[in-house]
Structures are given as structure tokens and as C-alpha cells.
Structure 1
């Protein structure tokens, strides 16, 4: 028998002010959402299913399927569709004269973006309005909505900023490949540029993102060795991986812009007009300077309450096992008491005891957040172990890293040279903005 839902929610929600992270920036929080939204994809109409491709494939800008990709391609020189504003590339707009632009949505044919096809456009618009205080009924929000690969695009201004950066990076790569291979047609240039762009994000995830989570441990992306490991297999995103990535406690109440203006949650969601007014450089710099929330209990902002409730119900619907069972599954000792679980934190121990009768009853998602941490650790032992396991098996089994594929013949000579640069997130951002010296890019504070 599960404990009362409201009591469990009481363990999650922020009581007063946000407890800040010791070393993570808001940019880390935003990057985590943007990165994981591409493969942690519960079906919007059937919680038993997923819409995920199960791979890191930059579907944020390329789409989940071939018709979506074609709708987003320019059709020449391997480029993605853009519009030019103040000399910079931005995604095209999804709406035209108040209605969905038919180049991205045609209800009479199997073309266009997957989340708008098959009669689902009204459902998608309803879902966006429910999440965003009716953003699509307001011209200053709707008319700035970008056409991109996923239904969640535009959910925050940072999500849009990352999409813009990697769209520009694709077109930059495509231009270099087309110059280096003048005999290649649009299709070959596009597909090769896409592979190079995806290969770069694999490096970013390991060398920036995972390294930040792990702390001082010097992770580097390696190729080749995974093929001889027993866990080398076609990737599948599990329910548990989806649940453990619900890092809502990292989300700040407000985004603190560089000019001293604070933007609340409703105002930075589905608001690309704000992004264009503030500028990508200023927005990324502000997010890099602001502390994210601390991972743990009692730190989820009020506006994420329904999301927490949804995750809790979802886990219970599938009968996800208690936290201690996952400790054992990952080769760790089960905790024998609430004090052992919380690392002696009396407040957390007492709160858990008020909800659960036994430490072995603590639910998976609650245990991950309640577990004590060592000094300097970003996250507790279990979630760090599980993130590392899932992330590395996810990344290192990517087909692009297989020995017979990870060659210049796959990526072209130009693309191979780009990959050897081992680009960081900072380098990719800086080469795709007008004022590279004016932007700070950091997952740490």
C-alpha cells in the first residue's frame, strides 16, 4: 500500500526559498532539460508508450521521423531552414498570419512535423496552452513560436537558445562540407553534416555535462572499447531512467537577467520574443552566472507540483520497485535505517518516517532525492551511479562510435577534422553568436 500522495508531495515541494546548489549553474539545469527531452519522451496520449527514438540524435532540431526532417530542411546545400534577423540565423516561425504555416503542417498528407500530423494539431495546441498560461492564444507568444523537431521546443527561452545554436552549427558544418566536397548533392551534405553535429553533442555530453556531475573524475569520450563489453546492445530508454531524471529541484523560481531584471517561470516559458529581445549571449551568460537549485527533497518549486504528481502516479502505475531494491540491483548495499539513507540528516529522516513506516518502503524517486551526499558531491551516490551507467551505455552504444563507422569515410575529411577539435559547449556557442567575447558559457558557478 502506497502512502498518501499529498504526504509524499509534501516531501518534494519547496517550503520557503530555494536551497541553492553548491556548484551548478542554471545553465546546467536548462541543458539537462534540453538534452534529455530528446529521448525521455512519454507518449502524450498513452502513458504505457514512448515516442522516443532511444538515441541521442539531436531530434530537437532534426525531428523524430523522416517527414519531420524533410519539413525542416531547406533543400539546398545540406542546410536547415532559417530566417535571417539582424544578420543572424533563427529557426523559421511555425505560425503565419495566426495559423500554423502549411509548409510544416498539412492535414491532407503525411508531411510536416510529426507532433502536428494525423489530426493532432488541436491536441498539441491545447497541451501547449495548458502548460503556458494560454501562450498560443496570445499573438506576442504564438507569433514567435519556432518550427523545430520536437513538440516541447520553446518550453523555455534556454531550450530555444540551444536549438538555435545547434541549428546554426549544422548550417556552419554543411557550408564547410559543401566547400570541401563540391560534387556532393544536397542530401549527402545534409546527412553528413547531421552526423558530425550529433557526434559533437556526444562529446559535449561526456566532456562537459557528465564531467560536471562527476566532479573531479576526468571523464573522456572514448570510442571502440564498448563493442567488446557485455552491455553493448541496442539502446532502450527505461521507465526508471525517465523517473530518475526528474530534477525539478534544480529549477529556480526566476531567471535573473544581466540587467537586474528577474523573469518568472510563466514569462520565460514559450516566450521566444523575450529571447530575441534579450539576446542569446545575454541569456546564456545570465544562466551561467545564476545558481541552480540543490538536488534533493523540499526544493521543487510550486509551479512544478503537477509534474511531480504525474511522475509519482506514473511510477506507481508501473509498480516501480522501492529505492533499496535499486540500490541492490546496482551493486550497492541496501540502507538498513532512515538515518543511514539520509546520512544522518535529522530533518529528512523525521520527514521520511512521517510518511513511510519502513526504510524498505521508500519509493524510488523519493529515495534518490533523500539520500545523503558526501562533501562536494553534486548528487548522492545512487543517482550518480545510475546516471553514469545509463548515460555511458546510452552514449557508447551510439552507432556513430562503432569502430567501422567512426572513420573519415563516414564524416568526410572536413567533418572528421571538425570532430577532432573535440568541441566543448562553450566553443560551439561562441562560434555561433555575433558577440563571442560577450558570452559566458558554464555549467558550474
Structure 2
């Protein structure tokens, strides 16, 4: 039974900030009507979020836990401490807090399999979001996959460039990028495919030359090593898989839809640039279109996406020039905690409507034919016409509990993550002392107490999603705090947003105007669908 959560450990400053930002709507509208005041308030609010925890560089990385320092026979460190290698070797993932071997020692925590009950739905009932469409979880999976990339063979490492760099579209390396390029007019390799109604749309080329034999098209040899999930797909799915930037880009139709949207926008930008700058060669067209697209996506992330998450009346916005002298403005280094904060499997409905019919989420995995048949506009609009599900415990689809949630618990223990309470303290929240301070739901309190015994024993991953959600927000407080800290401090440091780079000279006057006039995913979609006179509804908001 849901009751009122005990807010005595929320922290006075946190309460005041939330109270002020979620009330006085008229005052906030007045503030936002004055450009100079708006910029100052925006800077103050963003800094207040980012400075909640110590800024980069982080003192620790996953190197501490590795068996050997790379390319040597030197045994792993036994204590967590800072080294030159841990500060600079970004093939290892960073971390905000040092390992806690005591918490994660054998026998101190519940059995992993016993924790499945915390993620499975109660009585099989799905709790839907009251704020977000299905575009929200699709977008989150797609854009975070470009920088939260744990190595499949060594979870202490990552394959990321530590930037929002659209590697899912362009590849992680120059070699991969070259395999995807047409080297004509700056464009990526493409093909036209017909929807069910016979209208043609633009897509990437197919990856497999002989799907039945699993033979990759020669022009994409060495693009990436397909993951096992892809290799196991039947030929009727394999034949429609696209050649895109990363190995999991075909995983689900939402991911493919957003990747294809960016792919089309890149090629559209090339046409715009070529018509305005006829003396530009293929290389300049490609590189400038790529820069413009990345700047657009960064803008959408920091404005449309982030403002969808927050319950605030003040709308945060990207203002790169305001932050270059801040102490947090340092090179990016993704932390393992950020990876756990973005494991939002509970946000994806187990069944959804596809072409008006109830469809199990499993049917949309590695199934690009579903996307091709509908086309970008229709699939996007149908996606945005239905709710996603509530982020939190007791709401993960059954097929994902064993595949994603329990492995996350195991991984957290292997990486010796500190406790939920330790991370609350790091992020400027008082440590909780009672289960009622985490959730007002008596069932949540009962299960946490039954499994963990004491609040100090609750693991980071479980605690993140055990918290009650905030009013008019998509995510609980600690999740929101960590996202605000990491997202802004690592998006605003993107090289393209440097004041001496973020200008007309870099993007061209035409590109600069496109960036200024592109504010939403809807803007991107509606200029990248076949002309029909229809404007498709595209939104994160229900």
C-alpha cells in the first residue's frame, strides 16, 4: 500500500531548491522573458547541479580492480589510490567512489536470485508513466549507447570515446567511418526501400551479403564484430539488418529509427551545404554535416530531453560560453556509476501497439522489417501516441529481469560499488536511517527490510530505483541528481561547444542557421520524411 514518504532525510537545501523551482510559475516565466537574467539564472542552476559532487578528474578508476596493469605482469593494486595511469588510461572506466570490498564481501548481501522479486511486476501489472511517451526510453537507449560502452570481454574497461559523438551513426574509429561513407557529396552510403504502401524512403545499406550464411557484405568487412544476439537471428531478420556505426545499432526498432533519422539528416545536410557552397569537396561536406548534426543532437539532449526529465518551471538550456572557466570544465571521463544510472529497462513496456495491434517487445528486437514497412513518420507518431512505463522497482518486463537487472546486480558486486547511502552522501543528500525515507510504499519497505535488514546494506543499483519518483518528474531524486551532474558536465565540455569552435566559421552560415532553428526531435523527423502535407506528432511528453 502506498503511503506518504518520510522526507526528513531529503536535506533542507534540497527541499528549498525543489520548492522554489516547482512553484511560482509566473515568476519563472518573467525571468525567462529577459535574456540577460535568464542566462545568469541558467548558469547558476546548472552549476548548482554539477557542483553537488567533487568535479573531474575522479581520483579512482576501474584499473584498481584489474588483475594486471595492461601489458605488464605487475599484480593489481590491493588498495584504492590515485595513479597517473588511473587518471589517464580511459580504456578503463572511471568511478566516483572507491571500491567497497566490505559491503560486497561474500555473505554480506542477499543472493542475487532472491532480488528478482524487486524487479518483477506485482501481480503482473504494468505501471505506466504519466509523463513520457515511448520515445523517451527509445531516445535514452539510443543516445547513451554512444558513450556508455562497457567492454564485452572485460567489464572494467570500455570501448567509448567518452563523448556524445554519434558513434552509433558514424562509427567509433576513422576506419569504421570510412566504411560507411559513399565519398560522394559528403554522404553516407544509402539505399531506397519501399514501405508497405509503396512509398520509398532512405535507409543505410544492408550489412549482410548472404544472410543465410552470415556472410557480411565485402564493403563492410571489419566494420565491427556482430554480437552473439545478432548472430543467432534467423535469416528473415538478418537480411534486413543495416550497416551502421556500432555493433548493437540494429538491436531494437526504436534504436534503428533514431539512427536512421540521424543518417537521413546527415545526407540532407550534405545537400543543403552543397547547394550553398558548390566549391566544397566531399570531405568538407561530410565533416561539416557531421559537426552540424552533432551540435543539433547535443542541443536537443540539453534542452528538450533534460527539460522533459525535470519537474522545474525554469527551462534549462545550452549556453556553452558561460561555463568555460568553471573548475568542472575538464576532459570527459565516463564513470561506472553513470552506466548504472541509465539502466532504465523498467521504462520499456512489455507490449506496445505496432500498426494498431498489441505486440510483444521481443518481436521488435533485431527486426528492421517492422520499421521499413511502417516508415519513419508513421512509426515515430505511433511511438509518441502511447505511454512508456514508470521507471522504478516492480515494473521490468519478465524477459528483461534475468537478462538485464540481475546481471547488473552481479556486475555492481564484481566492481565493488559502494552502498546506496554512500552515494546519497556523495551527491549532497543526508544518509537515510529508515526504509520509510526511501519510499512511502509499504511493500517496497517490507521487501527491502526483508532482503537487506538495514538501510546501510542496500546496494547502489537497488537503492537508485527503490526511491519514490518526484512529482511531475520521470525519475527518482538520486537518479536525477547523478544525471544532472554527469550529463551537463560532460555534454557542455564537447569540443564542438567550445566558444572558439561553436560559431558560423565551424558550421558555415547555413549550418549555423539550421542549428539555431532546430530545437526538437519533431523538427528533425518532419523534415526527413517523404513529402505528404502531414506533420507527424513527435514528442517525449504525453
TM-score (norm 1): 0.92
The alpha carbon displacement at 1:328 in A equals 0.9
Please list, as runs of the form range in 1=range in 2, the aligned pairs for 1:312-391 lying within 5 A after superposition: 312-342=409-439, 344-391=440-487
Please list, as runs of the form range in 1=range in 2, the aligned pairs for 1:75-114 lying within 5 A after superposition: 75-86=183-194, 87-98=200-211, 99-105=215-221, 112-113=222-223
> Which of 151, 164, 172 pairs up with 1:56?
164
The alpha carbon displacement at 1:255 in A equals 2.1
Alignment pair present for 1:37 and 2:145: yes
Q: Is the 8 A contact 1:430 1:436 kept in 2?
A: no
The alpha carbon displacement at 1:71 in A equals 0.2
Provide, for residues 190-209 of structure 1, a one-character-per-residue CA deviation record: whole Å limited to 9, x for no partner.
Answer: 01110000000001111211
Please list, as runs of the form range in 1=range in 2, the aligned pairs for 1:213-232 lying within 5 A after superposition: 213-215=309-311, 216-232=313-329
Q: Is the 8 A contact 2:350 2:360 kept in 1?
A: yes
> Which of 331, 339, 343 pairs up with 1:234?
331
SS at match of 1:228: coil
Listed as ranges, the gaps of 5+ residues in structure 2 are 1-107, 195-199
Partner of 1:303: 399
Partner of 2:346: 249
Q: Is the 8 A contact 2:227 2:248 kept in 1?
A: no
Please list, as runs of the form range in 1=range in 2, the aligned pairs for 1:414-429 lying within 5 A after superposition: 414-429=510-525
Please list, as runs of the form range in 1=range in 2, the aligned pairs for 1:387-406 lying within 5 A after superposition: 387-406=483-502
- Output the CA distance in 2 between the equivalents of 1:393 and 1:125: 31
The alpha carbon displacement at 1:125 in A equals 5.0
Bigger Rg, which one:
2
Partner of 1:120: none
Partner of 2:116: 9
Q: Is the 8 A contact 1:158 1:283 kept in 2?
A: no
- Output the CA distance in 1 between the equivalents of 2:273 and 2:519: 17
Provide, for residues 86-110 of structure 1, a one-character-per-residue CA deviation record: whole Å limited to 9, x for no partner.
Answer: 43211100011332101000xxxxx
Partner of 2:230: 128
- Output the CA distance in 2 between the equivalents of 1:334 and 1:209: 29
Alignment size in residue pairs: 423
- Output the CA distance in 1 between the equivalents of 2:519 and 2:472: 27
Alignment pair present for 1:73 and 2:181: yes
SS at match of 1:243: helix
The alpha carbon displacement at 1:436 in A equals 6.5
SS at match of 2:130: strand
Partner of 1:119: none
> Which of 189, 192, 199 pairs up with 2:295?
199
Q: Is the 8 A contact 1:74 1:81 kept in 2?
A: yes
Higher mean C-alpha displacement, 71-80 vs 407-416: 407-416
